Structure 1
Amino acid sequence: MCRSQPFSYLYFNRFRSLHNLVYRLPSCAQPCAVHDTETKKWRHLDFWNWKTYMHARVPRVKCETCSNTKAGKKVTQVPVPWSRPLSHFTHQFEAWAMRWMAEMPVNAAARELREHVTRMWRILHHYVDKAMSSVNMSKVKRIAVDETSSRRGHRYITLFVDVDTKMVLFATEGKGMDTLASFKAFLAGKGRDAAQVEEVCCDMSPAYIRGIQDSFPQAQITFDKFHIMKLVNEAVDDVRIAEQKQHPELKKSKYIWLKNGNKLNEEQKNTLERLKDGHLQTGRAYRLKLAIQEFWHVRHIFADMYLQEWMGWATRSQLPPMVQVAKTMKQHKESILRWFHSKMTNGLLESINGLVQAAKRRARGYRNVDNLISMVYMTANKLRIPELATRRAY
């Protein structure tokens, strides 16, 4: 045997005399006589460092019940137990490939297994789609929505996560109100009514708000408190930028005002103590920030009063960025206060976004958005990888 050729160690001839046998296809369970046989091969687990293939003569049948075509009865290949239909690999090889792809980028796994990357993606798509199709949607009541970058040029995918099970239910290309309509259609395809979604957590994007109102009119909206704090932090930094022209000591102090006190080193703490109690507009904005941080810890019966007082304080501060934040919060007051009932945040989505971006960097990007979405499902949901079969399937 030439060493440059792949090693084939199994050749099945058990189907040598098959024309008197009858097979039942899974699609119709009707007995079908053998029409002919066709030699097929499937890649199996490597034998040492040699590629290994399984060969078999597979019977084909002509089913008169489920395979009618204009040209007559269609000839159908009988399923084999060691491989799924239309696959060029055995179950064991696909399980091994999925384990590789769970640990490294698909391109790298393809190089290690000496397979074409397109075939590897087909394996991954098959098992991810199979796992996601079995997800139970009957108990979905509370979801969180957020977008993450899919590639350069302001291209995004939007993720819908079940807050209770912490599972990514649906991912779609784009962002905004159209993604909510896509999620509603996805639920309808699963036989679920949009009315079963009772709570939605999102940021203050007008597109998300409009999409929820149109597609899930019965759902209560909770604005993510981390996005609210992001608005306040951005306003504090805007005040600092405008003031540092007259007060050079504020230069290079951005993160002193934005970080929590327990994350500052001694030098930063000393600088903050020296600046925050002075007659600086940035110091006033910083005190407003500390006050809104305490808002999330007050008892819910006092939350409405506390927020109203804070918005009045921010308006009277006459700091344009803080005044604008107060106006925004006044417009969405009910959805901000809803947090004290739902306790929903997008913190889980932020961690999933981190996983997505890390996978994207390792893979140096993905050729299309479908590949990225499949990788999101596999990594974020920790999908069960097919196990290597230990029994002989032939």
Structure 2
Amino acid sequence: MDDQPLPSDLPDPDSLGDSFLVYEVEVGDDQVLYYGDLAGAKEAVLRTLSPRFRERGYRVSLEYRMGEHVLVATERSTGIDGIPWTNVVLFGLTVLTTLYAGSQWYGIDVAADPLAIVGAWPFALSVVGVLAVHELGHYVFSRYHDVEATLPYFIPIPSILGTLGAVIRMNDTIPDRRALFDIGVAGPLAGLVATVVVTAVGVSLPPVPVSEGSVVAGLDIGYPPLVAGIAALLGEPLAYGDGRMVNPVVVGGWVGAFVTFLNLLPVGQLDGSHVTRALLGERIGTIQRAVPVGLFGLAAYLFVFENGRGAQLWALWGVLSLLFLRGGTATPMDETSVDRTRWVIGGVTLLLGLSCFTPIPIAITG
């Protein structure tokens, strides 16, 4: 036994005997380790014990260390301690990479005048904005359900879009299917609102010239029904002749739609998996296994009938979906079914996700 006393707000080891037979406790600075033997299946043990620790302000995990089962209790904190420098730095880098990407869409010669990159701020704001609103939706509802989650981690990359998106991490158990649904669906719905606003603003702005031989001149963007529908409602075109293209802010709306569709794929830890898991429970397994099959099938179709345009993208996502499958999906502690209202919201969200799909999102034309 460790010399430090067990914190008074933690369950007494003897009270866990119905699920976990404790024979030693080790108290550390930031964790308490209960060594013992399982009195049932791992998932059943966690499902039984997690609520007991959660109500006392702790989250637990079961690990297997050096031949022993260990119940690890860590104090929960839904607040933000200090300045999250990793999040801040990644956000700053993403602003820079999206500004650089925007300079290519606007035809700004950054090499001749580095400060001119600031002129690409509408593109950077639209892309970073839709991603931030999406992740903010997750974060707000994580806090609402008292689930420990990080601030968004933006992923900068020097490319034609400037980013690979953003993610938050939930460092906690999910109390029930209702919380899993709300947290999962909040991101796509918030992101869709931002996408609609950005797209509407973008199609209303004047087109920009495209220099022959530039990177963007060799790209063909496929607009999903959501973006095309907004443009049609506002009576604005999505294609111009004579060396012109839509305002790059529209590309920000396209990014929002594309990210929404990908996130709503019901596999692994993606939002669509959280929503579907909350609605269907453990029956989600069959649907998850169908996702890579569908993605590889789409890639094969494009390879055969569309000269391979877009095939590599969906083949890549087919591989990623297989990796997501191996990572598993979120498992709520309480499996009580969600209410009818959430079923309706879930169905509408998934349908809106389909409106963000286009078989060839982007392709090289030259």
| TM-score band w.r.t. shorter chain | under 0.3
Structure having the larger proportion of residues in strand: 1
Structure having the larger proportion of residues in helix: 2
- Bigger Rg over Cα: 1
